[in-house]
Structure 1
Amino acid sequence: MAATDALADVLRQMTGPWTVSDAARELATAGVPVFPCVPGRKRPLTEHGFHDATTDPGQVEAWWRTHPDANLAVPTGATSGMVGVDVDVHAPTDGYEAFERAHRAGLVSGWAFLVSTPSGGMHAYYPATPAQTQRSWQAARAGVDFRGDGGYILVPPSMVSISGAAVGYRVRQINSGSSATLDSDRLREFLDPRPTPPPRTGNDVQRSLDVSRLATWVAARGEGERNRGLFWAACRLAENGAPAPEALDVLAAAASQSGLGEREITATVRSAYRTILPPAGPSSSVQGSSRAADGWFALEATVRPPTPVRGLP
């Protein structure tokens, strides 16, 4: 059974109050590798993060016996056999707009199930493409991230703290038909096309070498200086006029190599750019926007077969 089918089957059963440990045990039994994260947060509790994910019932039982309030996470990509598209709604970006454009282009229509996130965004799950590496990436300008190889994702009934309140991940739609794999490279190119670079000058070559050295330096940071090093490097790029998405592309792989998680990397780079290039006006979340409320999650339901909503199949 595909991991997306196994996960969907377990999520279908969550019609009443389930504990995270119950869900972890059921997923492991169904063959979906799991691991615990810090209660109320997204940071892994295990030493090697998603690399420690397992289906071993004894290990899963021990983890949640020691940390009964731990959140539940699943690695994405070949390890679990499923990938995810993460739609963000942090101002000034509304990822639902980009996701809907991609849906109209036929790039994201084969989802297996949809989950609403505590911040008002959405996770769309797909089967991983067999025998193909699908690396995680961020399209910051579009408000969409892809969780594939090298990533992980929190699943219901995990909860995180939003403005001091505990808010949970919720299953909103499960596809009663067949799901399809996702062409993640094509989706990235659609959401964040890479322009053809102009002919390089001597200054461009020097800048490229400087950026390369910066990335190498970030990758070499050790425990206790990884975040600070990434923040410093991102500030230098911001000061030199590099667009934030470019800085994220340049530094993400290096920071990941040093041991930072993708969400932490994104947050640190964004924080650096806000520090160097503060927004003109106050920033606010788009959580609860009419696009989210009246669009993809228009039908309130814990589990319901998909009904046509704004172009959904």
Structure 2
Amino acid sequence: MVSPDVFYGALTRASGRWPLSAAARELVRSGVPVFPCVPGGKRPLTEHGFHDAATDPDQVEAWWGQHPGANIGVPTGAPSGFVAVDVDVHGPVDGFRGFSRASRAGLAEGWQFLVTTPSGGMHAYYPATPGQEQRSWQAARAGIDFRGDGGYILVPPSEVSTTGAVAGYRLQRFNAGASSVLDSDRLRDFLDPRPAPRPPENPGLQRQADMSRLAVWVAARGEGERNRGLFWAACRLAENGVPASDALDGLSAAASDAGLGEREITATVHSAYRAAHPTREDSASPTVRDSSPAAPDDWFARDPVSRPSSVRGLG
């Protein structure tokens, strides 16, 4: 794990007029794992993307020797020791509004330093929470993404092409005060509140009402959120004794409206039921007993996520 001062110092030195290859070497000398991305873009050049990030000088020399103009990617979360809040500005979506609201609520304070992005947005860097996995997520409607475990970010002096022009990532400000870890789960719930169940009047009617609210929420998921949103909603139904066939019927139309295909919807719902009940034997149409439904307050208690698969070698 790289300390904030060391990381910021390396970025400061590399953010001048250094070639990208020299900047990558400087970051590696400071202990920051890096990997190459396409020149002028964000797509990784290695076979396994951010999983291939290295601090081996020889490997970095080989990568940038082959692609001297490659942008510099750094994995977020445990591999690097920092996480980032990505504030986007796209058309009517202005992530700075959500970031300001979160800051006033005390949920986005304690950043280490800020970086301006080519689109006019901002990256706010925070120390990763030691010993705790912080999964990446998106809150598209708020214009904010969280880059944690399972994610990566481009760092200065990388440059990308936007709207026909080339612009770069630039250091903006360092926090001379004390930095603090970010509660990414609370921030996500603040920016993208999830539907809350009402007090039950009739268990059967309440179940239908909750399923309807979940369906509305799934239908509103944007690109990058829809598959995970469907998985989360299906897990809630599984945990509350709703048969998989009913969950599939109740969520399919909403997931289709969000942009998912029929095959992907079916696979995601079945995967959610297997994840919610791992002791049950997998089948093509898993079902859940209906005898002991959970209390309504438990519907939104957990957020199961899948872990990244293991990686091998380089591409």
Amino acid aligned to 2:225: D
2:186 equivalent to 1:186: yes
- In the alignment, structure 1 residue 90 sits paired with structure 2 residue 67: no
Mapped to 1, the partners of 2:226 and 2:46 lie a distance apart of 27
What CA distance in whole angstroms lies between the structure 1 residues aligned with 2:4 and 2:52? Answer: 20
What residue number does 1:249 align with?
225
- Match of residue 196 from structure 1: 196
Hey, what's the Cα distance between the residues in 2 that align with 1:204 and 1:248? Answer: 22
Per the alignment, residue 4 of structure 2 pairs with: 4
Question: How many angstroms does 1:77 deviate by?
Answer: 0.4
In structure 2, distance between residues paired with 1:104 and 1:202: 34
Provide the alpha-carbon RMSD of the alignment: 2.8
How many residues were matched structurally?
227
Classify the secondary structure of the residue corresponding to 1:161: strand
Deviations 1:266-304 (A, max 9, x none): xxx9xx86xxxxxxxxxxxxxxxxxxxxxxxxxxxxxxx
| Distance in 1, Cα, partners of 2:25 & 2:132 | 29
- Identify unmatched segments of 5+ residues in structure 2: 199-205, 232-254, 260-315
Letter in 1 for 2:158: S
Q: Aligned in 2, Cα 1:44/1:203: closer, same or farther, shift over 3 Å?
A: same
Distance in 2 (alpha carbons) for counterparts of 1:47 and 1:18 = 27
Aligned to 2:23: 23
Deviation at residue 201 of structure 1 after TM alignment: 2.5
SS at the partner of 2:133?
coil
- Distance, in Å, in 2 between the alignment partners of 1:192 and 1:120 is 22
Q: 1:202 to 1:189 in 2, by over 3 A?
A: closer
Give the direction of change, closer, same or farther, for the CA distance of 1:251–1:15 in structure 2 (3 Å limit): closer
1:130 is aligned with what amino acid?
A: P
The answer to whether the Cα contact below 8 Å between 1:4 and 1:125 also exists between their aligned partners in 2 is no
Give 1:118's aligned residue: 118
**Residue in 2 aligned with 1:217?**
none
Instruction: For 1:57-206, list aligned pairs within 5 A.
Output: 57-197=57-197, 199-201=206-208, 204=211
TM-score, with normalisation over the residues of structure 1?
Answer: 0.66
Shift of 1:243: 1.1
What SS does the aligned partner of 2:125 have? strand
Q: Distance in 1 between matches of 2:195 and 2:210?
A: 19
Q: Give the conservation status (yes or no) of the 8 Å contact 1:137–1:145.
A: yes
Q: Percent identity?
A: 63
1:201 is paired with a residue whose SS is: helix
**C-alpha contact 1:40 1:160 (8 A) present in aligned 2:** yes
CA 1:253–1:202 in structure 2 vs 1: closer, same or farther (change >3 Å)?
Answer: closer
Distance 2:94 2:224 in 1: 18
Q: CA deviation at 1:165?
A: 1.6
Instruction: Normalising by structure 2, report the TM-score.
Output: 0.66
Work out the CA distance in 1 between the residues paired with 2:95 and 2:88: 5
Bigger Rg over Cα: 2
Which amino acid letter does the alignment assign opposite residue 221 of structure 2?
A
1:146 counterpart SS class: strand
- Distance change in 2, residues 1:15/1:136 (3 Å): closer
- In the alignment, the residues of structure 2 paired with residue 83 and residue 66 of structure 1 have an alpha-carbon distance, to the nearest angstrom, of 29
Aligned residues of 2:74 and 2:153 also touching (Cα < 8 A): yes
Query: 1-side partners of 2:43 and 2:96: how far apart?
Result: 25
Letter in 1 for 2:34: V
SS of 1:101 mapped into structure 2 = helix
Secondary structure of residue in 1 paired with 2:93: coil
Query: 1:202–1:186: structure 2 CA closer, same or farther, 3 Å change rule?
Result: closer
**Matched residue type, 1:140:** A
User: Is the 8 Å Cα contact of residues 33 and 53 (structure 2) preserved in structure 1?
Assistant: yes
Amino acid at match of 1:243: A
Contact 2:15 2:23 (C-alpha < 8 Å) held by counterparts: no
Residues of 1 paired with 2:16 and 2:41: CA distance?
23
Residues 126 and 182, structure 2, Cα contact 8 Å, conserved in 1: yes
Supply the distance in 2 between the matched residues of 1:203 and 1:127 (Cα, whole angstroms).
37
Structure 1 alignment gaps of length 5 or more: 212-236, 256-268, 274-313
